[in-house]
Structure 1
Amino acid sequence: MNADRRPAALVTGAAGGIGGAIVAALGDAGWDVLAVDLRPDPETGPGASFAADLTTREGNRAAVEHALDRFGRLDAIVANAGMQHVAPVADFPEDRWDALLALMLTSPFLLAKYAWPALAASGDGRIVAVASAHAQVASPFKSAYVSAKHGVLGLVKTLALEGAEQGITATAVCPGFVRTPLVEAQIGDQARAHGLPEEDVLRDVILAPHAVKRLLEPEEIAATVAFLLGPAGRAFTGVPVTMDLGWTAR
């Protein structure tokens, strides 16, 4: 990257939770950041906010174009936006399947596609997808989420191979359960799916696969993303960076 200019990143799902923590960490590390969300609040949080519907081609293209217009360069994409729906396959709404795949698999592909020339021009372009331990293992009642996360890990591997000669790296951060509104919002759905009281879901369902029985904090994920975008992250490409408190060790 050109040392006389601040590097620029585009972060999706940036209005709060993991995305907000990533925007803050990159800002502290000296990055210019476009914080993209469906409904960003320009009055809160660091970064330059931008509203985009990332389930559409137009929204993804507009986000990349705005970053380039604002910063004159684009050195990193952090595809973090996510959503969840918990239901058995037989009852899973087809429109929710479409929405989850569009946001968590197609959007990272489109962002990489539209940003590719800028990332190559950077000479040190980085793509980080915030995936999940569910990119490597499965859980019942999450068919769309698990499928999208497995798919994004395959996408990252392909991007890494295609980007190698152009100085573009691609990695997937794969955390276990993180203390975010997305996790908190699924407690009721999990209770209904498993026939459990809500107060038992955190212990008996959400934290059950963790060897270490705690939730990760958004700042832990953000620190890992900042590391991958920094000088020490250059060796990582085409791989899952797993931080799952022992989930996949079983």
Structure 2
Amino acid sequence: MSFWGFLVENMQTFYSFTGIANATMGHLIMILVGLLFIFLAIKYEFEPLLLIPIGFGMLIGNIPMLNGMQVGIYEEGSVLNILYQGVRQGWYPPLIFLGIGAMTDFTALISNPKLMLVGAAAQFGIFAAYMTALQLGFTPPEAGAIGIIGGADGPTAIFLSNRLAPHLLGAIAVSAYSYMALVPVIQPPFMRLLTTKKERVMRMKRPRQVSQTEKIIFPIAGLLLTTMLVPPALPLLGMLFFGNILRESGVTKRLADTA
């Protein structure tokens, strides 16, 4: 074989291993969606703590790979595949909820329990999405996984999708977080439509002073009440309330900061 023939053959072999040679339209679309998430997070500050990690993760997860290299996310035994098991097996949503609990101040809710009705009303979106998915021909488990998007909660959508419809996990995760990120765009028109200008500039009363004892009792009572009624919610709500009591106990500040 001549030198030039040898060079061309090696260049062809090199090219076959590149992401360019192995790219599909699906890879390119998901990379564009990842770039959009990063853009929205940085330019408009739409859920940056969520969208930057997710968007960059989408870039990593959609770099085209030649099978057999033991590098890609979906190849058994690769480092990225081991990390991906945290998504497949539902390790990450409880950890996210631990951090959310450690960051959340429930003072407004404790001082005015009627606010729970606002949160409960938001869950009607779950049932609307569930019934719509059934009408579109999805199976009940698939419709349940899709319906949870209506609750506007990304970690819960990922957690439930893993159990009910893992084959829809990617689409549900993208839909849930796109929806959450666009809430600042979606809400204002409806607020203007359903309220008057006078109502929008109304100042809410300051919440009453909540004692530390109440703040400590809240995560304990919340855990027992919710998980005794719905035990399968324990991985998420258990971690949420655990993170919150780390915050409110006053004696575990380093653990709360770490969470």
TM-score by length of 2: 0.26
TM-score by length of 1: 0.26
Point out the structure with the larger strand share: 1
Point out the structure with the larger helix share: 2
